[in-house]
């Protein structure tokens, strides 16, 4: 891979200086882009390493389906340049604010509504350039779709939340915007929504996303589904879906707004009414049926055909413990995604590896991995345990 490593870059030199100083003084650095997701992950009060000075799109050739950009590049800038060529980041990263950066999106590793049909953010990462905890400028992966030379280190970075290395640049795969998109809505009970979306996903239908919003205690809720693909495929799928449920087609503008608001958690169901509450995220296998805990709010949001569920409940440890147990029993895991203002910020937000079966030994592996990239603990903010 040709990498302009010999190029002296002032911003990179400054980052390296910060890293080496932190290593010497044993004070971790909290990597931050636009800070739009600063509430996500475990809280810390370490000094910030701001990535935004290292910004810009380095390479974009639409026919290669790859874009390479600096970590500090605004996410909206990337999406805008792709839109000009009718291409998209198919994993639909949530922004959670105007200032969201490319690097921040990768470090958080979050994907939007289409995740089950197109894949996770990490599936799209092809290569990365990083500064490790020793200040070494390293490049992994590359700019091509198929590459099995060396361990796939660039795919370890998504979701690592800045605890492994400082991401400088990344190359990600992009896709053409689907030729046609249609959104349908119907009213069905939660169990029926789980059944239907998974059945549709197993058929040759252009199902691209699903969302059920309703009352966790029972009754019909609103099931919204998105079909995307070749115009003929979408057109042919509408009557097939219509034969099963009584669905209406959403106006394209309203539909786009709905999916964006879902991704950005701007829908009313996400508006946490109580400052003692926490928005919990559950990642679950497709086979998981209805779930409930005693003290949760009525609103529940199901995405990804039920594999990502959002519920609001008190932020205390006992509640999190029961939610974690519920997720674990069903083969998934739970996160304190967003805490209300009165909940203690010092709380552990994630399920630990030691709390899951056959993951205990991986805690040692993970600790050794981090130590090898970052022996002095420059990135050991514990933002991700």
Residues 123-142 that bind other proteins (CB under 8 A): 123, 132, 136-140, 142
Scanning the structure block, which residue is given the tokens 């910030």?
48
Q: Are 302 and 190 in contact (CB under 8 A)?
A: yes
**Region of 10-18, 36-44, 100-108, 160-168 interacting with other proteins (CB under 8 A):** 160-168
Q: Are 107 and 158 in contact (CB under 8 A)?
A: yes
Q: In 10 A of CB 371, how many CB atoms?
A: 13
Under the criterion CB under 8 A, does residue 226 sit at the interface with other proteins? no
Distance between CA atoms of 372 and 22, rounded to whole angstroms?
16
Distances (CA, A) of 253 to 100, 182, 257, 259: 23, 11, 6, 10
Q: Total binding residues for other proteins by CB under 8 A?
A: 95
Q: Which of 35, 97, 159, 340 binds other proteins (CB under 8 A)?
A: 159
Q: Which of 47, 80, 191, 236 binds other proteins (CB under 8 A)?
A: 236
**Region of 242-250, 260-268, 289-297, 352-360 interacting with other proteins (CB under 8 A):** 352-360
DSSP 143-193: SSS---SS--GGGGSTT-TTSS-EEEEEEEE-EEPPSEEEEEEEEEEHHHH
Under the criterion CB under 8 A, does residue 122 sit at the interface with other proteins? yes
Output the smallest distance, CB 385 to other proteins, in A.
7
Q: Are 335 and 349 in contact (CB under 8 A)?
A: yes
Under the criterion CB under 8 A, does residue 385 sit at the interface with other proteins? yes
Distance between CA atoms of 242 and 163, rounded to whole angstroms?
47
Task: Write the burial class of residue 21 (CB in 10 Å: 0-12 exposed, 13-18 middle, 19+ buried).
Answer: middle
Distance between CA atoms of 19 and 13, rounded to whole angstroms?
10
Q: Are 141 and 124 in contact (CB under 8 A)?
A: no
Under the criterion CB under 8 A, does residue 35 sit at the interface with other proteins? no
Q: Which of 16, 76, 177, 185 binds other proteins (CB under 8 A)?
A: 177
Q: Which of 230, 248, 321, 341 binds other proteins (CB under 8 A)?
A: 230
Strand order in the sheet with 166-173: 57-61, 66-70, 166-173, 125-131, 137-141
Under the criterion CB under 8 A, does residue 150 sit at the interface with other proteins? yes
Under the criterion CB under 8 A, does residue 209 sit at the interface with other proteins? no
317-346 footprint of other proteins as x/- string (CB under 8 A): --------------xxx-------------
Q: Which of 10, 63, 253, 318 binds other proteins (CB under 8 A)?
A: 63
**Region of 19-27, 32-40, 95-103, 353-361 interacting with other proteins (CB under 8 A):** 353-361
Under the criterion CB under 8 A, does residue 287 sit at the interface with other proteins? yes
Under the criterion CB under 8 A, does residue 290 sit at the interface with other proteins? no
Under the criterion CB under 8 A, does residue 232 sit at the interface with other proteins? yes
Nearer to other proteins, 72 or 206 (CB): 206
Helix, strand or coil, per DSSP, at residue 350 = strand
Q: In 10 A of CB 335, how many CB atoms?
A: 20
Under the criterion CB under 8 A, does residue 191 sit at the interface with other proteins? no
- For residue 104, the 8-state DSSP code is H
Under the criterion CB under 8 A, does residue 20 sit at the interface with other proteins? no
Q: Which of 351, 378, 379, 380 binds other proteins (CB under 8 A)?
A: 351
Nearer to other proteins, 52 or 129 (CB): 129
Output the smallest distance, CB 220 to other proteins, in A.
22
């Amino acid at each position: 891979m040709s990498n302009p490593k010999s190029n002296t870059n002032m911003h990179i030199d400054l980052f390296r200086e910060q890293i080496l100083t932190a290593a010497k003084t044993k004070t971790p650095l909290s990597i931050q882009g636009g800070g739009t997701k600063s509430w996500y992950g475990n809280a810390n009060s370490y000094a910030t390493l701001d990535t935004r000075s290292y910004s810009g799109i380095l390479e974009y050739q639409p026919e290669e389906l790859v874009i390479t950009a600096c970590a500090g590049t605004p996410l909206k800038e990337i999406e805008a340049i792709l839109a000009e060529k009718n291409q998209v980041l198919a994993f639909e990263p949530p922004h959670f604010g105007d200032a969201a950066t490319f690097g921040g999106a990768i470090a958080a590793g979050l994907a939007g509504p289409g995740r089950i049909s197109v894949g996770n953010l990490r599936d799209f990462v092809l290569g990365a350039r990083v500064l490790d905890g020793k200040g070494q400028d390293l490049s992994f992966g590359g700019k091509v779709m198929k590459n099995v030379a060396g361990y796939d280190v660039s795919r370890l970075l998504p979701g690592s939340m800045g605890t492994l290395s400082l991401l400088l640049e990344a190359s990600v795969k992009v896709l053409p915007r689907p030729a046609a998109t249609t959104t349908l809505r119907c009213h069905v009970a939660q169990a029926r929504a789980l059944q239907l979306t998974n059945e549709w996903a197993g058929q040759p239908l252009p199902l691209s996303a699903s969302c059920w919003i309703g009352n966790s205690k029972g009754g019909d809720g609103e099931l919204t589904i998105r079909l995307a693909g070749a115009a003929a495929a979408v057109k042919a799928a509408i009557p097939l879906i219509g034969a099963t449920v009584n669905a209406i087609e959403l106006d394209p503008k309203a539909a786009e707004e709905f999916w964006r608001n879902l991704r950005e958690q701007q829908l009313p169901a996400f508006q946490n009414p109580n400052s003692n509450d926490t928005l919990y995220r559950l990642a679950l296998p497709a086979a998981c049926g209805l779930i409930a805990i005693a003290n949760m709010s009525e609103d529940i949001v199901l995405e990804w055909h039920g594999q990502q569920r959002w519920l609001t409940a008190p932020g205390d440890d006992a509640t999190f413990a029961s939610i974690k147990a519920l997720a674990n029993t069903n083969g998934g895991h739970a996160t304190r995604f967003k805490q209300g203002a009165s909940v203690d910020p010092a709380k552990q937000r994630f399920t630990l590896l030691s709390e899951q079966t056959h993951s205990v030994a991986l805690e040692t592996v993970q600790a050794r991995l981090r130590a090898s990239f970052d022996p002095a603990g420059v990135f050991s903010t514990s933002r991700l345990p």
